[in-house]
Structure 1
Amino acid sequence: MDPQVEKILKLPTKQKILILVLALAIEAAALLYFLYLPKYQELNGLKADLSKLQNEIDEKTRIANNLPRLQREYDQLTKELAQALTELPNSKEIPSLLTNITTLGKNAGLDFLVFRPKGESAKDFYAEVPVDITVAGSYYSVANFFAAVANLPRIVNITNVAFSDIKSVNNRMMTKVTCLATTFRFLDKKEIKDDKKKHASK
């Protein structure tokens, strides 16, 4: 028999119990440190991953539940964009729009004295297209002209309105009106890029 074992066997009972308890404690500590703690940490990691995945599932479920509403909003925005596109002409449509404005004025009974397009002013995604206009005719004709311009499907703002040469002719109040008619057009992608380059070089 091993001398160490014989030595332990000859020890008093209390010391034997103490050695046994100490050995069991060391074994339990080793099991705890090398087996239980790694598994415990792994379990906590898996719980955290599960919680994260559950949150992602909840978020995706919420988005999926909102999909019909988001689709309706998208469809509405698409319609609004289409409407905006009809109100802002592209560069090819500007000459015909300006022709329409002069036709409206002539149909209202006005004589065009000045119709002078000015230089465009580029903004973020659109350009202002201003036109100096001077017309002569009756107050009634001027009012009809402004109303017809307001009813155009395109956006045309009339500003800087000034009346002059007011006189009565055949019981009709005649006047000369000077104003600024401003319409707008969308810039295409190339124009927007060129405009950004121009501003960057300043």
Structure 2
Amino acid sequence: MVLNKLQPREKKLLIGFIAVLLIGGFSYFYSWQKKSLNQKELQIDNTLNKVKIESAKLKKSSVLEKKYQILLKKLNAKQKDFLEQNQEVDFLLDLNDLALNTNVSLTNMKPGHISQQDIYLEFPVDITLKGAYGNIIKFIEEVKSLKYITRINKFNISSVAGSNNELEAKISLRSYSLDRKEVN
């Protein structure tokens, strides 16, 4: 055989060369496997983080859903404080009755356009009243006795030309109704 003819020094060099090749080949193969393993560990960590985030979102979602249901129950309990949807005529009639009960003349009533505000609808009405100062103030005080939420947005009072104690009041009112399609 050829190895038997080699000198001991050549045999040692050959064994050293083979050892270096084996170690180099093993380290190359091992580093490739290590790189692949590191990539897979990174993918697993990323996936685990995504799962943790989604889990936290789901927990928050269920907590938010519970809070939403509680708020919805409270809102439904307060439903009586709002004008019923499509019952704006009742609001106008109530204002007219209020004017009659407080001895003021309702000389002008101008309903505005209904506008969407979050989960409720805003119904504006501009009215003009004529009467004594005390009666106009009584009308304004009685607005709070209406059976639904009504807000006085603007109020302007002036004297009527040619009259001693008759005043004219221009009032901008807003009433609100829940937009049930938004709530449900």
- Aligned twin of 2:143: 149
Residue in structure 1 matched with residue 172 of structure 2 by the alignment: 181
Residue number in structure 1 paired with 2:42: 48
Calculate the aligned-residue CA RMSD, in Å.
3.4
Q: 1:18 aligns with which of 13, 21, 44?
A: 13
Equivalent residue of 2:156, what SS? strand
For 2:87, the aligned partner's letter is E
Aligned to 2:53: 59
Mapped to 2, the partners of 1:9 and 1:88 lie a distance apart of 110
2:126 corresponds to: 131
Residue 78 of structure 1 and its aligned partner are, at CA, apart by: 2.7
Return closer, same or farther for 1:86/1:15 CA change in 2, 3 Å cut-off.
farther
Q: Which residue number corresponds to residue 97 of structure 1?
A: 91
Does structure 2 conserve the Cα–Cα contact (< 8 Å) formed by 1:164 and 1:175? yes
- Out of 64, 74, 86, the position equivalent to 1:70 is 64
Q: What amino acid maps onto 2:16 in structure 1?
A: V
Q: 1:58-93, CA deviations, whole angstroms, 9 ceiling, x for partnerless residues?
A: 324434554564234323443566558953653x21
Q: Given the superposition, is the C-alpha separation of residues 65 and 23 from structure 1 closer, same or farther in structure 2, using an over 3 Å criterion?
A: same
TM-score (norm 2): 0.71
Identity %: 16
1:117 aligned partner, one-letter code = K
Q: Alpha-carbon deviation of 1:131?
A: 1.9
Instruction: Quote how far apart the aligned CAs of 1:97 are.
Output: 0.6
Letter in 2 for 1:182: L
**What CA deviation, in whole Å up to 9, does each residue of 1:78-126 have, x standing for no partner?**
3566558953653x211111111111121223232x1231553756765
Q: Is the 8 A contact 2:149 2:176 kept in 1?
A: no
Deviations 1:2-22 (A, max 9, x none): xxxx1x433322221121111
Letter in 2 for 1:176: L
Q: CA deviation at 1:55?
A: 1.7
Q: C-alpha distance in 2, partners of 1:41/1:175?
A: 93
Work out the number of aligned pairs and report it: 173
> Which residue number corresponds to residue 182 of structure 2?
none
The answer to whether the Cα contact below 8 Å between 1:111 and 1:137 also exists between their aligned partners in 2 is: no
Once structures 1 and 2 are overlaid, which stretch shifts more, 97-106 or 10-19? 10-19
Task: Tell me, yes or no, if the aligned pair for 1:134 and 1:178 is still in contact at 8 Å.
Answer: yes
Provide the C-alpha distance between the structure 2 equivalents of 1:88 and 1:73, rounded to a whole number of angstroms: 25
- Are 1:31 and 2:26 an aligned pair? yes
SS at match of 2:100: helix
- Pair 1:109 & 2:103 matched: yes
User: Relative to 1, partners in 2 of residues 1:151 and 1:30: Cα closer, same or farther, differing over 3 Å?
Assistant: farther
